[in-house]
Structure 1
Amino acid sequence: MQKKILLLICFSALALILGGIALGANTFFTSDTTWEVYESPEEAGWSSQRLREAKRYYDSLHSTAAMAIHDGKVLFAWGDVTQNTNAHSIRKSFLNSLYGIHVEKGNIDLNDTLGDVGIYDFPDLTEQEKQAKISDLLSSQSGVFHKAGEESLTMRRNRPNRGSHEPGTFFYYNNWDFNVLGTIFNGETELDLFEEFEEKIADQIGMEDFSLDNTEYKQEVRRSIHPSYLFQVSARDMARFGQLYLQNGKWDGEQIVPEEWIQMSLRDHGNVPRNTVYDYGYLWWSATSGKWSDLGLYSAMGRYGQAIDIIPELDLVFVHRVNSNNATFGFRRSVSQSQRLRLLEMIVEAKESD
C-alpha cells in the first residue's frame, strides 16, 4: 500500500513537471508571489513549441535563471528566479533610478564638476580631471582613468593613461566613474543609496526578495577610496525593475522615476567602440543599429551574462542570470552578449503573428 501511494506521488509530481514544460516551463516559484502568470504561452500570443526550442538553447548555456514578462504577466520562468545573486554591473542601472528621483528634486545638479562636489582620490585628481561633470560620469566619459574597485581584467588592460582624454570626449567603461557616482549620491543627498533604493524603488514596486542584508559597500582602498556598491538581487525582482522602466517609471499609477529622466538616460550619450549592438546612455545600454534598434531594445548588463533586456515594441521584459556566487566560479561559465541576444532572438521569434 505504501509503495502504491509513493508511486502515485511520484507520477503526480512528474505530471506537474512535464505539464510545466509543455506550457513553457512555468515551474519556477518556490514561494508565494504576486506576479500574475499566463496559463499558457499561447494565451499571451507566443508559441509553446518555439519557446521549448529556446529553452533547449538556454539549457546548453551556463545560464542559471531566465524570466520573461509580457504585458505585466509572467510568460515563462526557468531556473530559480527567487535566489538573490550578485547583480554585478546592473547595480549601475539601479543607481540610475535614484539619480532620476533626486535630480528632479534638485538635490543633484548634473552640471556640477568633481571639483564642485569635492571629489578626490589617492593619488589625487588633476585640475583637468576635476572639470569632469556628473553628467560625464553617468555616460562613462569622465576622462578620469584612475584605478577602481570591482574592475575586471579587461577594464584594467584597456584603461587609458591618465590625462589622455579631456572630460566628456571619450567613452571608456569606467568603474571609477560608477563608484564615484555612489559617493556623490550619498554626499549630495545626505542619504544612503541602499536604504533609498529600498524605500523609493524596492518597496514601491513590490520586490519580493530584496533585503538590505544583501547589499554591501566593498572597499578596495589600495585601488581607490571610493567603494563599490554591490547588490544581491533575484531574477524576479530584476524583472519588476525592468517593468518599471518599460512603464516609463510608473507603478500602479504613481510616477516613481521621472519619465523625462528615463528618456534622457536612454539617449546615445557615448559611442561604444567595438560594440556592434549598443551605445551608452546614462547607466543604461541602448541598441542603436539593426533589428534590435528597430524594436527599441535597451538593457542593463553585468559581468558573466547578467541582463535586464527591455523591448518596448513587444511590451517585453527579459531577465537573464548567471549565478557567480559560487567560490569556484570562473570565466568559462559566463554567457556572452551574443549568446544572450541569440536566446532573446529565439524568444522574440516565438511570438505568434497577430
Structure 2
Amino acid sequence: MNPIKILLAVVAVMLVGAGIYYAPIIDRLYFSVTMEDEASMAENLRIADTKYRTHIIPRSSNPEAFPKQLKKDVLPESFINHGKAISSADFLKESRPTGLLVIKDGQVIYENYWQGLKESDRQFAFSVAKSMTSVLVGMAIGDGLIDDVNDPVVKYLPHFKGSAWDQATIANALEMSSGVDFDEDYSRTDTDMRRFQIDFVLDKPVEPFLLSLDSAGPPGVKQGYNSMETQLLGFVLRSVIGDRTLADYMHEKLWEPLGAQDDASWTTDVTGMEITIGGLSMSLRDLAKVGQLFLQRGQWKGEQLIPEFWVLESTTPSKPYQMPGRDNPLSEKPFGYGYLWWTPVDPSGREYYASGLYGQYLFVNEEKGLVIAMYNANINFNQDPDGWKERYEDFFQAIAQAL
C-alpha cells in the first residue's frame, strides 16, 4: 500500500480517537459556558448532572411522602427588605423560581413548580451540598469515625502535612476559617474558583488543586468564604468511611431512613471523588425532608439519625467571626455562619438555612415548626449575591411571621 495512504489512514484514526476522547470535555465546556442562558437556565439546572460524572444516591426502599394540607394565602402579599416593601409577586417574577415547598408542623401547606420542574425532578443545588456535607460530618462523628471536630485535618489526611491546610482543624474548615487563600468572586473570570472550574471540566482531579493553595493567615481568626474548605471535608469523610463513597454513605445514613422518594446524584471528579462544594442534585421534596429532620433535632420516627448536639452546634454561630451583622470586621459576609449553615442577618429566634448559587435554599424556623425548600433559576443572582440572599431571607422570614 502507498506509504502516504497508510500515514493518512493512521492520522485519520488518531483524529477520530481524539474526537471521541475530547467530545465529552467539549460538551461540558459548552454547557458550563451557556449555563446562564436565560431561555435554557431552568432546564440546564435539571440536566446538569447528566453532563458530568456522578454517583447515584438511590431513593429509599420505603419511599414516603409528606402529608399535605394545602392552604391559601401562605405567601405574604409583600415583605420588607432594607426598609422597602417588595411585592411577593414581583419578587417571584424577578427571581425566576422553579419550585417552592412550605412545610408547617410536618405537613405540606404550599407546593408549586415553575419552568418545567416537576415534583419528582431533581435540580442541581450548588452550595446546598456544603450543608449536606456538614450533615455527613456530624453523622461520621456520631458513628465514631471522626473522633472530634477539633481534630486537625492532617490526622485524617497525613499527606496534607506541609500544605496550607497543615494547621487547620475540622472545625476551621466547617467554619471557613482555615486561613487558606482562595479567591471566590463569581463576578470575575480571573479567580481561583474559575481556575478550579476549568480544571474540573478538563478532567483534572481536585486533590492536587487543594494542595496547590497557599496560606493567607493563621486558622481560627476570621471567616472568609472558601468553597475548598468543604472539598477538604469531603476528603476527610472519604478517608474514614472505608470502601464506601459519600453517595453510599448518604444513602445508607440519610436517604434510606428518611424515606427519600427520588434518586439524588452527586457529581464527581475524574477519580470518583464527590464534589462536596456543590455537586448534589436532589428533588425539592427530598431536600425538604432534611430540613424537617433538622427541625426535629435529628430524630426521625424514633431514631436519632443525626446527633442532637450536632444539629444545634452546626446551626448556631458561636465565635466572633461567625456572628451575623453588617459591621463584623472578622467576617466578609453580613450573615451568620455555623458549620456550613447560614443564619439570617437579623434572625428571629432559631433560624438557619442552606444556600446555593442562583437561588437554591433550605430554610428552617424552629419556633414556627417551619421548613421552606426553594429552587430558582435566578439569572440575575451573580450581579448581587449578598443582596439577593438578603431578599430571600426576608421573603422566608415574612412567610414565617405570617403563619
Q: Taking structure 2 as the reference length, what is the TM-score of the superposition?
A: 0.65
Conserved 8 A contact 1:68-1:317: yes
Question: Closer, same or farther in 2 for the Cα pair 1:55/1:256, shift >3 Å?
Answer: farther
Conserved 8 A contact 1:62-1:333: no
- Does residue 1:38 correspond to 2:69, yes or no? yes
Alignment of 1:13-162 (within 5 A): 34-41=65-72, 54=88, 57-79=91-113, 80=117, 81-109=119-147, 110-120=149-159, 125-126=162-163, 129-145=165-181, 152=186, 157=191, 162=214
User: Which one-letter code corresponds to 1:216 in the other structure?
Assistant: T
* Farther off after superposition, 137-146 or 239-248: 137-146
2:275 to 228, 242, 245: 228
Q: Find the aligned partners of 1:172 and 1:154 in 2 and give their Cα distance.
A: 17
Question: Closer, same or farther in 2 for the Cα pair 1:111/1:345, shift >3 Å?
Answer: closer
| Deviation at residue 152 of structure 1 after TM alignment | 4.0
Q: Which residue of 2 aligns with 1:28?
A: none
Conserved 8 A contact 1:310-1:318: yes
Q: Which residue of 1 aligns with 2:218?
A: 166
SS in 2 for 1:343: helix
User: Which one-letter code corresponds to 1:182 in the other structure?
Assistant: G
- Does residue 1:177 correspond to 2:229, yes or no? yes
SS in 2 for 1:68: strand
| Deviation at residue 175 of structure 1 after TM alignment | 1.5
- Does residue 1:251 correspond to 2:285, yes or no? no
| Deviation at residue 33 of structure 1 after TM alignment | 6.7
Q: Which residue of 2 aligns with 1:196?
A: 249
- Does residue 1:348 correspond to 2:400, yes or no? yes
Q: Find the aligned partners of 2:381 and 2:336 in 1 and give their Cα distance.
A: 27
User: Which one-letter code corresponds to 2:369 in the other structure?
Assistant: D
SS in 1 for 2:235: helix
Q: Which residue of 2 aligns with 1:307?
A: 361
Which 5+ residue runs of structure 1 have no aligned equivalent? 1-31
Which 5+ residue runs of structure 2 have no aligned equivalent? 1-62, 80-86, 194-212, 323-329
CA deviations 1:236-290 (Å, max 9, x no partner) are 11111100101100111111111011111122144373533x2111111123x53
Question: Closer, same or farther in 2 for the Cα pair 1:136/1:343, shift >3 Å?
Answer: same
Question: Closer, same or farther in 2 for the Cα pair 1:192/1:34, shift >3 Å?
Answer: same
Alignment of 1:264-303 (within 5 A): 264-268=313-317, 269=319, 270-271=321-322, 273-276=331-334, 278-287=335-344, 290=346, 293-303=347-357
| Deviation at residue 119 of structure 1 after TM alignment | 4.9
User: Which one-letter code corresponds to 1:115 in the other structure?
Assistant: V
Does 1 or 2 have the higher relative contact order (CA < 8 Å, sep 6+)?
Answer: 2
Q: Which residue of 2 aligns with 1:23?
A: none
Q: Find the aligned partners of 2:366 and 2:189 in 1 and give their Cα distance.
A: 31
SS in 2 for 1:170: coil
SS in 1 for 2:362: strand
| Deviation at residue 157 of structure 1 after TM alignment | 5.0
1:205 to 233, 253, 258: 258
User: Which one-letter code corresponds to 2:236 in the other structure?
Assistant: I
| Deviation at residue 104 of structure 1 after TM alignment | 2.1
Aligned-CA RMSD value: 3.4
Q: Which residue of 2 aligns with 1:20?
A: none
* Farther off after superposition, 129-138 or 312-321: 129-138
CA deviations 1:210-242 (Å, max 9, x no partner) are 23xx222135x9xxx976231111111111110
SS in 2 for 1:64: strand
Q: Find the aligned partners of 2:227 and 2:294 in 1 and give their Cα distance.
A: 23
Q: Which residue of 1 aligns with 2:59?
A: none
| Deviation at residue 346 of structure 1 after TM alignment | 3.7
| Deviation at residue 54 of structure 1 after TM alignment | 3.8
Q: Find the aligned partners of 2:190 and 2:314 in 1 and give their Cα distance.
A: 26
Conserved 8 A contact 2:138-2:306: yes
Conserved 8 A contact 1:308-1:319: yes
Question: Closer, same or farther in 2 for the Cα pair 1:141/1:34, shift >3 Å?
Answer: same
